[in-house]
Structure 1
């Protein structure tokens, strides 16, 4: 800005860096430790420094150079195979791809706050660097700081999406201050900075107070926002299998509950899944309207049962669900917001919360195997528990083949469980799910991979039960934990588990567990043990946890025949996959889309700056063409700010129009009138301006016009660079010429 001290040129770049880091402070809610802060700061500062150095040289070079610098930074920081240590060759790109793929897996399976691994730190570095490029382009290059709020919102929204818990107040304040900084810390706004800071402070305070009064401060959605994730250590949440895997892959298990009075170990159920969507799996939906936990609860089972009373101490669980044992008949809680859905067998709340502890009375069903075999009658549960819409016919065929010799629903359920856990079963337990290739994940698991953890086994058996006419659902929660030596049991994240519940007429929901565990955590109900004994002894669950998927033998077919194994692929012909490429492509596509959008948004503003630089240079040089360049720039500035000059106006009429419509007064009005006189003298009198005269007048007029109000469109999409937006006006003595021909440099033809 003319007349401003030289040091003020650093204000806008500095503000863009500060705003990105302040808005990104919420990342502390989802990444452990402070290592991410250093990576974010280095990436942001690098981008801003490169931009500040190149902006005076060539504005269009800024964004490509910033992106190149960011790539060089991550190559040197996160790979060991860069050319000369920092140039991204094929090997270095392969390393970065693998790291990004690993970051995607950690996000999919981890629970916030995730560990600051190299994969996560690479993602943080690239994320902050990319956002810094966007903020710098809008706030500094195009000089549209208000538009920079969009990428700043992205910085703030990423941790919100990963951690939908109530964010601390300081994260909200930091984000708002970051936006205030980028708006206020500019050379042309220094005099307004005190008042602007007061406005920002009042706005932040008002927003926080309004949120508190509404009871909605934070980013946590209500229960009907199905599809979210859990929000605390040990949480099951609305994306149960993602959180479940995250618990099982923790480097150190975390205690969740301490249970007293549990004489008979049983599963601790957090939620049940009713809906199965092919290729997507079992989904958590909104429970039915429940009854308050203030009195006796309606039972969901009948028949013989043992009763127990337990006390649960919460050591670190916060969620929409209140985990319960068996068939609860009474639950004592302190919060009045909990409700119980007897049909789903779940206690829930509209918002995630942490109950310090609770008591529970329950029924533990104890029907015999013979009683379940004899169970008969119509299915009185929701028909949705039998829904197999869209299930691949091959799954149904496998289920019918496995249960071909079973005469009743109970024996069919046992046949399916033994298919996964019985002697000679080809299925193995591992957190590393074997890759498929058939196109249907469930078919792949049943016919090719045969390796997975409780999610795959419970999901498969639940669908197969429905396929043979047995109502089924998947339950997600925890095993009974381990005794702690004092008569109590401790349940940790390592006990996270999924199993199957099948419905029998007259008895209700009965538990089956098809996961082939060999570590003693499986709980077989009495009826399952009896059925195993009747079949010739209690077969051991032979498969121990495996660190990696192993090749599985083919599944025996009916009649004892063994199918032909699929032909092995020739390693010499199979292409070598690039590690992590599958997870890298979505990130790459997202970055390319963001850059494309940024290019579309920034190009008009950059072209307008280039126009100004060229015209200002011509005006400053004086001589032939100086007056034309100076006058074109004033007309363009006026048009950008909403006042186009009609083609029929003379130079003086145009100057009067600009002064009137932009409310110019004092020195800016005098500068425009002086400029108009010098343009007329040059065009009509041949008096060429001297060097260093017109450019100062142009800058005074441009600054005054912009001070009267600068719209976002004037910054991002200036009308003067839109095709046919600048219409040149003719001299009065040539207005009647049929074809004046092209204007020569310095010739006023076709101009005011």
Structure 2
């Protein structure tokens, strides 16, 4: 048994489906650093789609119409989010296409998680999430196929498996599983209640102990759903032959080669935070400890530096001695210093900070190092530096200040990746690189000239607030061009990136290092690094020294650079680089002009995502308000279209009920048409009345069954009211003109008959008749009295 459909339960189920889908989509957070960029608008869109579906289903609309309106709402929200207009036409359509193209390029170029200063993949995640919201709502709420909707939820959760190192979030799975079980429970209860009134103790409560409905729901939804969820978690690890892992739980594909996350710290955000946080403490016998490296970034895509793809072997562990650093001449004087590190609870990193170069590292857990970079990374997903202790022995290499160890790298001495420069960079980058290094006799002098230009001769200034956004693309032009507004102003990450790229352009292998600059001295050999010490610097490769760090960031921030980088360079005709990006500048005076390898070509108009990171980012309340407003406008238009038939029907009913018996008879005919009840054509009122009385239902039954009992005995009062209406109609039609007077209370009798007819149909038909009345579009035609009518009278 069930009563008239109420809007609250319909809305509850719709919001539960939307919330469950949104919770499952939390599993996609590992694809990008700023997950709020797709989760926030997706939450608003899910609510709008779910609310629209709830209203339509409550009104009894067909499934096709419900899905169509939801797709319309989804299209308007997507167009508003990606194109700036709810109508995806003209400029909005072009902007949507551009956003998706950039997102697809980033998805195919960068490793997850993708940083916020490159074209974001959030448009793809948002669009995919909207599709899943519509699918789950349609399956679970409109078609009442909750188990099938569970497959869609599982598909959402399985997407990050194998693509993100950490895999999908277990929190997302837990929340989605709870929501799915709740949907399954409500759906089972709804299906069981259609069979009729429950029997047994406390029959009015389907939740009572011992009630058949309660027992069936507990067995059908609770136990089956719980067992299915448990199987989804337990079975995959024991089926390795299938080579699938939908829930990212199981043995995986081994750990000889692993996909790693981009460790590039958002330095701008961390440096601008108001509170300084201690991250690493250590004790050492080194009297002047300096740089502590977290990771080296080898790959530059034009918009972002990343670690690229790394391979680590089982034997390359943080359990003691390390090989000698590659490329270092055996004659280089060296000293060893011991370090005992302790990370605080605030420092949660899957990369282990170590001195570079180091001769040994010993840390608890499965930490592996890359022999090309000597970066240490965690192999298990749950291993981090949080509250970790580790020991290391660092090497202090004395290269002197005469440059005798700095030789140009051989042709195949390093991987080609360290010389690759993507296409599409502004012309000013190459022209400045060549102009700055003009007159250098070798790579070492070219590197010294580059560092000196950034620190002294170039007129660069350090500023977090005035620095342009990003580290590549058009940000290069804004950073390097002295004539541009705010030109030659940046922070350490931009200085390091610019020098590394320009070094590659003149043939010097280069990469960017991320770590800590200089610790605070606590006394007695104790030091600490804080969030203010986070830093980026370039590392360049030379035969005889291997990878060595340079310091292009101005002295006000970085202090004194390494001794081997402070050597003056004597050149005959020093040339100040031109600010004209179209000028190629003079050629570098070297025996052989190096050529950078171009591996990735980007369109010239491809620019970095303009959304700023760190302190410049935040909750876009204006954007959220606009999106909510657009969604409400769409819903208001849909509601207006939906409410108009009911309003028009109510006005027509009021007009007829205040009229003559013929008008009241027309209202009964219109009500029968709305309720899809038969109305015999060409029949007398008595014959039509005999048809209608068989469809009268019991108005007093609050818990109306799916198939109500009908007939004259179901509602005797309505049967008598119908007889009075027919008698008044016959008098009006066949009595002598002017002799018949409509009896009082005829309108009330009509309302009684209409209510009884509604009680005799299913709840869904009655709801559809109220909200989508056929008589609004198909008006009943008033019949003309015939000879049969006279005979019956």
State the TM bucket, normalised to the shorter chain: 0.5 to 0.7
- State the SS of the aligned residue for 1:185: helix
For residues 371 and 130 of structure 1, the distance between their equivalents in structure 2, rounded to whole angstroms, comes to 61
For residues 764 and 5 of structure 2, the distance between their equivalents in structure 1, rounded to whole angstroms, comes to 23
Contact kept in structure 1, 2:11 and 2:55, CA below 8 Å: no
Contact kept in structure 1, 2:467 and 2:491, CA below 8 Å: yes
Match runs of 1:153-302 below 5 Å: 171-186=172-187, 187-189=190-192, 191=213, 192-194=216-218, 195-210=220-235, 237-238=261-262, 240-241=264-265, 243-261=266-284, 262-278=286-302, 280-290=303-313, 291-300=316-325, 301-302=328-329
- 1:445 pairs, out of 457, 463, 479, with 479
- State the SS of the aligned residue for 1:370: coil
2:444 paired residue number: 410
Q: Using a 3 Å threshold, how does the CA distance of structure 1 residues 625 and 392 change in structure 2: closer, same or farther?
A: farther
User: Is 1:524 matched with 2:561?
Assistant: yes
- State the SS of the aligned residue for 1:240: coil
2:370 paired residue number: 341
Structure 1 residue 176 displacement after superposition? 0.7
Structure 1 residue 142 displacement after superposition? 5.2
Q: Using a 3 Å threshold, how does the CA distance of structure 1 residues 6 and 158 change in structure 2: closer, same or farther?
A: farther
Structure 1 residue 373 displacement after superposition? 6.7
Contact kept in structure 1, 2:21 and 2:153, CA below 8 Å: yes
365-374 vs 460-469, which moves further = 365-374
For residues 166 and 389 of structure 1, the distance between their equivalents in structure 2, rounded to whole angstroms, comes to 30
For residues 479 and 158 of structure 2, the distance between their equivalents in structure 1, rounded to whole angstroms, comes to 36
Structure 1 residue 502 displacement after superposition? 0.9
- 2:464 pairs, out of 409, 430, 442, with 430
Please report the TM-score for the alignment, with normalisation by the length of structure 2. 0.54
For residues 236 and 362 of structure 2, the distance between their equivalents in structure 1, rounded to whole angstroms, comes to 31
Q: Using a 3 Å threshold, how does the CA distance of structure 1 residues 513 and 150 change in structure 2: closer, same or farther?
A: farther
Structure 1 residue 384 displacement after superposition? 2.6
Contact kept in structure 2, 1:258 and 1:313, CA below 8 Å: yes
Q: Using a 3 Å threshold, how does the CA distance of structure 1 residues 311 and 166 change in structure 2: closer, same or farther?
A: farther
Contact kept in structure 1, 2:358 and 2:394, CA below 8 Å: yes
Match runs of 1:115-134 below 5 Å: none
Deviations 1:9-67 (A, max 9, x none): 754432333354466568999899xxxx9999999889867765664447468997999
Deviations 1:120-139 (A, max 9, x none): xxxxx999999988865654
For residues 204 and 438 of structure 1, the distance between their equivalents in structure 2, rounded to whole angstroms, comes to 46
1:623 paired residue number: 679
Structure 1 residue 362 displacement after superposition? 2.0
For residues 459 and 20 of structure 2, the distance between their equivalents in structure 1, rounded to whole angstroms, comes to 56
Q: Across the two proteins, how many residue pairs are aligned to each other?
A: 535
Contact kept in structure 2, 1:321 and 1:346, CA below 8 Å: yes
Match runs of 1:353-364 below 5 Å: 353-355=383-385, 356-364=388-396
For residues 357 and 611 of structure 2, the distance between their equivalents in structure 1, rounded to whole angstroms, comes to 50
Q: Using a 3 Å threshold, how does the CA distance of structure 1 residues 166 and 286 change in structure 2: closer, same or farther?
A: closer
Contact kept in structure 1, 2:671 and 2:754, CA below 8 Å: no
For residues 182 and 151 of structure 1, the distance between their equivalents in structure 2, rounded to whole angstroms, comes to 14
Structure 1 residue 204 displacement after superposition? 2.5
Q: Using a 3 Å threshold, how does the CA distance of structure 1 residues 298 and 24 change in structure 2: closer, same or farther?
A: same
Please report the TM-score for the alignment, with normalisation by the length of structure 1. 0.56
- State the SS of the aligned residue for 1:198: helix
Structure 1 residue 363 displacement after superposition? 1.1
Q: Using a 3 Å threshold, how does the CA distance of structure 1 residues 252 and 399 change in structure 2: closer, same or farther?
A: same
Contact kept in structure 2, 1:63 and 1:133, CA below 8 Å: no
Using CA pairs below 8 Å that are at least 6 residues apart, which structure has the higher relative contact order? 2
- 2:341 pairs, out of 312, 322, 344, with 312
Structure 1 residue 509 displacement after superposition? 0.9
Deviations 1:65-123 (A, max 9, x none): 99999x99xxxxxxxxxxxxxxxxxxxxxxxxxxxxxxx9xxxxxx99xxxxxxxxxxx
For residues 38 and 396 of structure 1, the distance between their equivalents in structure 2, rounded to whole angstroms, comes to 41
- 1:388 pairs, out of 421, 428, 433, with 421
Contact kept in structure 1, 2:56 and 2:66, CA below 8 Å: yes
Structure 1 residue 332 displacement after superposition? 0.8
Deviations 1:557-598 (A, max 9, x none): 9756976899xxxxxxxxxx99999x99xx99x989x99xx9
- State the SS of the aligned residue for 2:275: coil
For residues 68 and 680 of structure 2, the distance between their equivalents in structure 1, rounded to whole angstroms, comes to 35
1:706 paired residue number: none
Deviations 1:240-266 (A, max 9, x none): 15x444433434343321111043222
- State the SS of the aligned residue for 2:556: coil
For residues 330 and 386 of structure 1, the distance between their equivalents in structure 2, rounded to whole angstroms, comes to 29
Q: Using a 3 Å threshold, how does the CA distance of structure 1 residues 363 and 312 change in structure 2: closer, same or farther?
A: same
Contact kept in structure 1, 2:351 and 2:384, CA below 8 Å: no
1:115 paired residue number: none
1:367 paired residue number: 399
For residues 535 and 350 of structure 1, the distance between their equivalents in structure 2, rounded to whole angstroms, comes to 49
1:4 paired residue number: 2
Structure 1 residue 5 displacement after superposition? 3.5
Match runs of 1:468-617 below 5 Å: 468-485=506-523, 487-516=525-554, 518-519=556-557, 521-522=558-559, 524-529=561-566, 531=567, 559=575
For residues 562 and 526 of structure 1, the distance between their equivalents in structure 2, rounded to whole angstroms, comes to 29
Structure 1 residue 394 displacement after superposition? 3.9
Deviations 1:337-377 (A, max 9, x none): 22222321212233442242110012122201213476356
For residues 551 and 447 of structure 2, the distance between their equivalents in structure 1, rounded to whole angstroms, comes to 10
Structure 1 residue 426 displacement after superposition? 3.3
Structure 1 residue 168 displacement after superposition? 7.5
Structure 1 residue 451 displacement after superposition? 2.4
1:749 paired residue number: none
Name structure 2 gaps, 5 residues minimum: 78-102, 104-111, 114-125, 194-212, 583-609, 647-669, 683-705, 711-752, 766-780, 782-793
For residues 280 and 360 of structure 2, the distance between their equivalents in structure 1, rounded to whole angstroms, comes to 19
Structure 1 residue 412 displacement after superposition? 1.0
Q: Using a 3 Å threshold, how does the CA distance of structure 1 residues 622 and 462 change in structure 2: closer, same or farther?
A: same
Deviations 1:309-340 (A, max 9, x none): 101112143444222112111111222x2222
Name structure 1 gaps, 5 residues minimum: 73-103, 105-110, 113-124, 229-236, 537-556, 567-576, 627-666, 672-689, 703-743, 745-752
- State the SS of the aligned residue for 2:372: coil
- State the SS of the aligned residue for 1:404: coil
Deviations 1:624-657 (A, max 9, x none): 489xxxxxxxxxxxxxxxxxxxxxxxxxxxxxxx
